[in-house]
Amino acid sequence: MSPGSRKRPPPLRLLFLLGLLVLAAGVIWKWPAVRQLGTLWLQSAHLPAEQDPDLAAVVKTLSPTQLAGINALRARSAALLRANLWPREDFIPATEEFRLYKKCLSCLNAPTSRYLEKTASLVEFHQLLRARGIRLILMPVPAAYAIHPDRVPGLDETGPRPQPGDASLQLRAFGEALRAAGIEFVDLSRPLGQAATEGTLCYFHGDSHWTPLGAEVGAATVASLLAPKAGSFTPADKAFIREWMPPSRHAITPPPLLQISVLSQNPVEARNPSTLLCDSNGIDEFDAIEAPSSKARVHGGFPSQVARAVGHRVDVITISGGGPAACRREFIRRCQMLPGYGASRQTVLMVFAERCLLLPLEAWPPLHLDRLTFAGEPGSPAPPHPQSGPSSNRRFKILQTSRASAPHETPYPAVLRSFVVELAPAPGLPAQKALLYSDHLRDRKPAAPDGLEPGTRWEATLLDWDAACTLNPGLAQIQRLDDVGDLELPTYYAVRGSLRRAP
């Protein structure tokens, strides 16, 4: 039989084989790691600055040498990311001293459109505050490798190299868009870049957070815009701190000691005129190094630097990873629930890492408020009575658990776990699905019984979340975002020590 006379496969068989291929591809794509690899591949593409249409105005202000250096850094960062795509690895081996943090490195090539799409929720927040006479100031913390480009290995020693601070082009365009909308924007690229040029270690080794020295530059840059109020500032005792230990554990070799004078203590001051809304760049406490086994904690982060610069303590809401949304929600909750809190505000300063602008748009949700109400005004929730929570011994069944969430340097020294639960009916209380927080660890010791798994039944003394926050303000700084995502559910807190198996 000649080749031309061979029978072709029936059309139904071809369709069946095509369907199997599509099904197999769909199953593979549903594997989270594979899907993440595809996403990371797209996000790690090299985008020369002149090819980003949203950077046209910024590129015109650059010299040919500056543009060449920035593009060389962009190309090298993209190559490093594509060579290290595995999604479960957050760090890339770089030099003998430190590793590169992928999320921070990815900022260098990110399209500016991903930044600009976040302006709508910020403009909404600005308008809510302005209607109540409150200023909003935005101060993103630039990506570490835009300030310390020398940490990115592989750049040609003889070719063009960017100067510290030059590579934050997207932030410049983002700032111009916000200024056009009437929002005050502080661009830290140049002051931090100047400090780095002079030898200041602005960012930790192997991490994306700024050091107390970098935070000092940020505080000095913004201090003149904050409301002055003398008389309430008290400096802390002198001590010395070194590089914050959690980030430095990512270093390949131990970093050299970084000794910095402690500047101030900064407890929450609800009636002072300025509020700082911070992500983890607002962490204020560090480990002392007077002795290797010392457990002393000293203050030297951004809130203390601001307090020193303006001459008074400031109100602080610091939620790790919650700079875009959780801090704004918590500020609004305090305005609505705490008498006098909103009326005393003059300025709100938002500080968040530049990499937060690369999060999906869903991470920057609108607030959907017609107006910002203060405690006691029509439309504001009634402040809960400390004992107004549900009755004791409320029984519930655990439906779903989340990982533990730790408050970062808040007055609440515990780690919480969140659960979606089904509350059993009680006298005067219906059965309902709810989100429940419970102490998991306190001072690194177990504070809740084992066996908190889906399907198990428990009972505990429960408090409404706002009532619990009234009793312990540190709880209010817990990030109310978790793996479960059921933020629309009524939220309760299990009183520590009351949790026990239901009979």
Q: What pLDDT is attached to residue 290?
A: 45
Percent helix, strand, coil in the chain (nearest 5)? 35, 20, 45
Q: What pLDDT is attached to residue 145?
A: 94
Confidence of residue 246 (pLDDT cuts 50, 70, 90): very low
167 falls within a domain = yes
Q: Quick: pLDDT tens for 426-453.
A: 887 888 898 888 887 766 577 777 788 8
Q: What pLDDT is attached to residue 46?
A: 92
50 falls within a domain = yes
Q: What pLDDT is attached to residue 376?
A: 86
Same domain, 351 and 447: no
Q: What pLDDT is attached to residue 490?
A: 80
49 falls within a domain = yes
What single string gives the DSSP state of each residue in 92-118?
EE-SSS-EEEHHHHGGGT--HHHHHTT
Positive/negative CA dihedral, 476, 479, 482, 486:
positive
- Distance, in Å, from the CA atom of 48 to the CA atom of 65, rounded to the nearest integer, reads 14
Q: What pLDDT is attached to residue 204?
A: 84
Same domain, 97 and 130: no
Q: What pLDDT is attached to residue 257?
A: 63
Same domain, 265 and 195: yes
Confidence of residue 293 (pLDDT cuts 50, 70, 90): very low
Q: What pLDDT is attached to residue 388?
A: 45
Listed residue (81, 373, 430, 403) closest to 91, CA to CA: 81
Q: What is the mean pLDDT of residues 208-219?
A: 89
Q: Quick: pLDDT tens for 76-127.
A: 999 999 988 877 778 887 777 778 888 899 999 999 999 999 999 999 999 9
Higher pLDDT, 248 or 107: 107
CB count in 10 Å sphere of residue 209: 23
Q: What is the mean pLDDT of residues 360-377?
A: 87
Higher pLDDT, 219 or 230: 219
pTM: 0.76
pLDDT(404) > 80:
no
Poorest-pLDDT segment among 36-50, 227-241, 457-471: 227-241
Average pLDDT, the chain: 80
Q: What is the mean pLDDT of residues 331-347?
A: 86
CB count in 10 Å sphere of residue 223: 16
Of 317, 347, 363, the last residue of a domain is 363
Same domain, 225 and 343: yes
Q: What is the mean pLDDT of residues 399-406?
A: 72
Same domain, 74 and 126: no
Same domain, 122 and 201: yes
11 falls within a domain = no
Same domain, 337 and 459: no
Listed residue (186, 168, 167) closest to 178, CA to CA: 186
Same domain, 424 and 299: no
Q: Counting Cβ atoms within 10 Å, is residue 428 exposed (0-12), middle (13-18) or buried (19+)?
A: exposed
Q: What pLDDT is attached to residue 28?
A: 61
- Distance, in Å, from the CA atom of 289 to the CA atom of 241, rounded to the nearest integer, reads 6
- Distance, in Å, from the CA atom of 332 to the CA atom of 128, rounded to the nearest integer, reads 10
Q: Which of 21-25, 234-238, 311-315, 469-473 has the highest mean pLDDT?
A: 311-315
CATH number at residue 401: 2.40.50
Total of domains in the chain: 3
- Our measurement of the distance from residue 498's CA atom to the centroid of its chain's CA atoms, rounded to an integer in Å, reads 32
Confidence of residue 279 (pLDDT cuts 50, 70, 90): confident
Q: What pLDDT is attached to residue 31?
A: 60
Find tokens 């005393």 and name the residue: 344
Q: Which domain holds residue 98?
A: 23-102
Of 322, 341, 363, the last residue of a domain is 363
CB count in 10 Å sphere of residue 220: 15
Q: What pLDDT is attached to residue 189?
A: 96
Confirm if 301 and 221 have CB atoms less than 8 A apart: no
Report DSSP state, residue 280: G
10 falls within a domain = no
Q: What is the mean pLDDT of residues 254-281?
A: 71
18 falls within a domain = no
pLDDT(265) > 60:
no
- Our measurement of the distance from residue 470's CA atom to the centroid of its chain's CA atoms, rounded to an integer in Å, reads 24
Same domain, 227 and 335: yes
pLDDT(487) > 80:
no
Q: Which two tokens stand for residue 501?
A: 């198996």
Same domain, 252 and 121: yes
Q: What pLDDT is attached to residue 294?
A: 47
Q: What pLDDT is attached to residue 71?
A: 95
pLDDT(260) > 70:
no
Higher pLDDT, 159 or 55: 55
Q: What pLDDT is attached to residue 414?
A: 66
Q: What pLDDT is attached to residue 503?
A: 80
- Distance, in Å, from the CA atom of 383 to the CA atom of 356, rounded to the nearest integer, reads 32
What is the 3-state secondary structure of 488-503? CCCEEEECCCCCEECC
Positive/negative CA dihedral, 457, 463, 466, 469:
negative
Q: Quick: pLDDT tens for 185-199.
A: 999 999 999 999 998
Confirm if 76 and 82 have CB atoms less than 8 A apart: no
Instruction: Give Cα separations from 229 to 132, 137, 236, 309, 363 (angstroms).
Output: 20, 18, 18, 11, 35
pLDDT(247) > 50:
no
Same domain, 400 and 350: no
Same domain, 88 and 212: no
Residue % of the chain over a pLDDT of 70: 75
384 falls within a domain = no
Q: What pLDDT is attached to residue 215?
A: 92
Of 54, 80, 102, the last residue of a domain is 102
- Long-range contacts, stretch 191-196, CB < 8 angstroms, 24+ apart: 191/217, 191/218, 191/220, 191/221, 192/142, 192/147, 192/164, 192/165, 192/217, 192/218, 193/146, 193/147, 193/163, 193/164, 193/165, 193/166, 194/164, 194/165, 196/147, 196/148, 196/164, 196/165
pLDDT(252) > 70:
no
272 falls within a domain = yes
Confidence of residue 30 (pLDDT cuts 50, 70, 90): low
